[in-house]
Chain A
Amino acid sequence: MSGVRRASRPSGWSRIVSGDRPGHPVATALVVLLLVLLAVAPFVFPGTRSQAAASRICVFIVLAASFDILLGYTGIVSFAHTMFFAFGAYGVAIPLANGWVGWHAILVGTLGGTALAVVVAAGIGLLSLRVQAIFFSMITLAVASFAQILATQLRDLTGGEDGLTFSLPRVLTPAYRLLPDPVLGVRVDGRLVTYYLIFLAALALFLLMLRVVNSPFGRVLQAIRENAFRAEALGYRTVVYRTLANCIAAAVAALAGVLMAILLRYNGPQATLSFTVMVDILLMVVIGGMGTLYGPALGAAVIVLAQFYLQPGLQAVSDQLAGLPLLPSLFHPDRWLLWLGLLFVLIVYFFPAGIIGSLRQRGR
């Protein structure tokens, strides 16, 4: 993990990223490349599948970065992050699926989901963080599994395993035409509007998070991560700071959930609440580099692209190995998680700083 970084008097571009630059020419290039590609994605990579991948990357950048506030900046492991993600998604899905279509419903759902996330996050934090930070991981795991059971059991409210399908305001539907003529060969329809809504919201949330971690508050979080005992001795109430970090991360995760629901026009346990999503987020943050915010953004892009385009590859390997003992079942596409888990362990061992962290260390 990189130590506490201090920015020298930010100005110009630097102010937008709160004085926190990627920290190495290659890292900067990667981040800028990612930003530019996402900004022009609908025009450069037309097609439903690539647009779905690009929107997914945007949503997961927000989700992974908010998880990094906990994992990388505060040094606590939460397994309830998908729960907060799901709060936001269900917040929007429940009113819309019950026939209340319109921006009001989205707004109310967003506020409701986020408020619930903050309250629950505060409760978990105050309950578990006042003794040992390690309780936090265990309790979040228990609470998250409880939420998963609730989501599948409360069928009237959440649609159970099937989830909720709903329609969005007309502006966000593919049938809507913003401009009569195509721009650069791409139809300016509701799908494009949806993409840019998600992209801009993700960008704004990411910059906001950069602001948070580079504020005096963010410095305290990093101090707690480095040495909780010393931070406490200096007069910072570690419980309060860690709980606040948990609340902020939960709120942002809920907002990411809102974006996810808008993107999918659906929400269900598999989409936002499952343990697989949690593993994905962990991987994104660890691959990209804990405690850097830019790292999780890159990690999100890597993992989402891998999911979209490598899973068919696994099928091909499995077909090649047909007839051999055991090997085909190891390379079965459903064993995707096995390879992610292996990758995850190897990275935590040999590459704990992740992409951005390693580049920063080299640049120093």
Chain B
Amino acid sequence: MNAARLDWPSWVVVPALVALALPAMSFATWITLTVAGTAMGMMLFLMASGLTLIFGLMDVLNFAHGAFITIGAYMAVTVLGAASGLVAADSLGLNLLALLAAVAAAAVVAGAVGWGFERVIVRRVYGSHLRQILITMGGLIIAGQLVIALWGPQPLLLAKPAALRGSFVLAGAAIEKYRMVAVGLGLIVYAAMHLTLNRTRIGLLVRAGVENREMVEALGYRIRRLFVLVFVAGTALAGIGGVMWAVYQELVTAEIGGEMTILVFIVVIIGGLGSVTGCFVGAVLVGLVANYVGFLSPKLALGSNILLMVAVLLWRPRGLFPVGRE
């Protein structure tokens, strides 16, 4: 009804949270945690944005999305392991080159696997949520086991590029360098996505398709072809998110995708399924809450995401930025 008037509280949530956190801690801690939370949010956004677009466009909920995060993480191990010279070099340029190579490799491999996944697995179950959930869950299990078969069951260690280790001090607050890279990459991707969606013809069709698929199809556009593109882009983004997260954690296990899937789901539910803006806000919100709560009461940190989701759903049952369609 009065959706436009109700919209502003959703935008205020993040600034309000950041402002509310300040009195609870010292200024330096506040800066450190806010940057850390934003960085985590950006990485979550990379992983979640594909999922929310895929759902918005084709009503497909891909439970195997986490598998592409895992693929990205293992590609990071492989590429950074192969380029150990670049990783160890004490030059920011060479380090970023190595990271960029890992990101590119992960995007290509995850995107290619995503393309195959769409053709073989997802295409046959359009329109039936039940079968989608079951099939993609099966896909997640298979992918996780294949990763173990290929890379072995033991956790793999991963070294951060030399120049990105450690932190610098800003206004008395220690800020990890790598987090700034994550924030930078996240903002670039968000900007690129925003521009693509709002300033290009393909973006226009994608947005129109999210709003009303039948109408766009009736006008003669092949939404399915567009959807393959979005699916591949979404899985490639998940792969990039996997690289960033793996390098951040410096440890990769086969469960990484499954663990992140849960956070990613919480992000897209909070943001509103199908909404890119909601996904961005939701990701930052989850990242910030995880860091603030982790500092203020570590015992609560375990459940903070779930509690956040419950709180948001009680307030806004369809998420912060619900997409038009009922």
A334 within 8 A of B: yes
CB pair A352–B131 under 8 Å, yes or no, is yes
Kindly specify which of A59-67, A126-134, A174-182, A192-200 makes contact with the partner chain.
Answer: A126-134
Complex alpha-carbon distance, A344 and B138, angstroms: 6
For the complex, would chain B's binding face be called helix, strand, loop or mixed by DSSP majority?
A: helix
Q: State the 4 A-B residue pairs at the shortest beta-carbon distance, nearest first.
A: A341-B141, A338-B145, A345-B138, A138-B265
Closest CB in chain B relative to A226 CB, distance in Å = 12
- Given A127-B310, A143-B306, A75–B139 Cβ distance below 8 Å? no
B4 within 8 A of A: no
Instruction: Please give, as numbers and ranges, the residues of chain A lying within 8 Å of B310 by CB-CB distance.
Output: 127
CB pair B302–A131 under 8 Å, yes or no, is no
CB pair A137–B309 under 8 Å, yes or no, is no
Closest to A326 in B: B149
Closest to A130 in B: B317
CB pair B131–A348 under 8 Å, yes or no, is yes
Interface residue count for B (Cβ, 8 Å)?
43
For the complex, would chain A's binding face be called helix, strand, loop or mixed by DSSP majority?
A: helix
Q: Which of A127, A137, A341 contacts B313, CB < 8 Å?
A: A127
B269 within 8 A of A: yes
CB pair A345–B317 under 8 Å, yes or no, is no
CB pair B269–A135 under 8 Å, yes or no, is yes
Instruction: Please give, as numbers and ranges, the residues of chain B lying within 8 Å of A107 by CB-CB distance.
Output: none
17 contacts between A and B (CB under 8 A): A77-B133, A127-B310, A131-B318, A137-B63, A138-B268, A139-B265, A141-B262, A142-B306, A145-B259, A146-B306, A279-B141, A329-B149, A337-B141, A337-B145, A338-B145, A345-B142, A349-B135
Closest CB in chain A relative to B324 CB, distance in Å = 14
The 0/1 profile, CB within 8 Å of B marked 1, for residues 316-335 of chain A is 00000000001001101011
B129 within 8 A of A: yes
B119 within 8 A of A: no
Interface residues of B (CB under 8 A from A): 61, 63, 121, 124-125, 129-131, 133-135, 137-139, 141-142, 144-146, 148-150, 152-153, 258-259, 261-262, 265-266, 268-269, 273, 302-303, 305-306, 309-310, 313-314, 317-318
Closest CB in chain B relative to A118 CB, distance in Å = 18
Report A329-364 residues with CB < 8 Å from chain B CB. Answer: 329-330, 332, 334-335, 337-338, 340-342, 344-345, 348-349, 352
Q: Which of B141, B265, B273 contacts A340, CB < 8 Å?
A: B141
Interface residue count for A (Cβ, 8 Å)?
42
A150 within 8 A of B: yes
Complex alpha-carbon distance, A338 and B148, angstroms: 10
Complex alpha-carbon distance, A310 and B265, angstroms: 35
Q: Which of B125, B265, B266, B314 contacts A127, CB < 8 Å?
A: B314
Instruction: Please give, as numbers and ranges, the residues of chain A lying within 8 Å of B146 by CB-CB distance.
Output: 338
- Given A134-B61, A279-B141, A338–B309 Cβ distance below 8 Å? no
Complex alpha-carbon distance, A337 and B255, angstroms: 14
Closest to A329 in B: B149
A286 within 8 A of B: yes
CB pair A335–B262 under 8 Å, yes or no, is no
CB pair B141–A348 under 8 Å, yes or no, is no
CB pair B137–A282 under 8 Å, yes or no, is yes
CB pair A77–B266 under 8 Å, yes or no, is no
CB pair B149–A338 under 8 Å, yes or no, is yes
A149 within 8 A of B: yes
Complex alpha-carbon distance, A54 and B152, angstroms: 34
A215 within 8 A of B: no
Closest to B310 in A: A127
CB pair A141–B302 under 8 Å, yes or no, is no
A153 within 8 A of B: yes
Closest to A341 in B: B141
CB pair B138–A335 under 8 Å, yes or no, is no
Instruction: Please give, as numbers and ranges, the residues of chain B lying within 8 Å of A348 by CB-CB distance.
Output: 125, 131, 134-135, 138
Instruction: Please give, as numbers and ranges, the residues of chain B lying within 8 Å of A134 by CB-CB distance.
Output: 61, 129, 133, 273
Closest to B264 in A: A138
Complex alpha-carbon distance, A130 and B150, angstroms: 42
Complex alpha-carbon distance, A228 and B135, angstroms: 22
Instruction: Please give, as numbers and ranges, the residues of chain A lying within 8 Å of B139 by CB-CB distance.
Output: 341, 345
- Given A135-B269, A330-B149, A338-B149, A345–B313 Cβ distance below 8 Å? no
Closest to A332 in B: B149
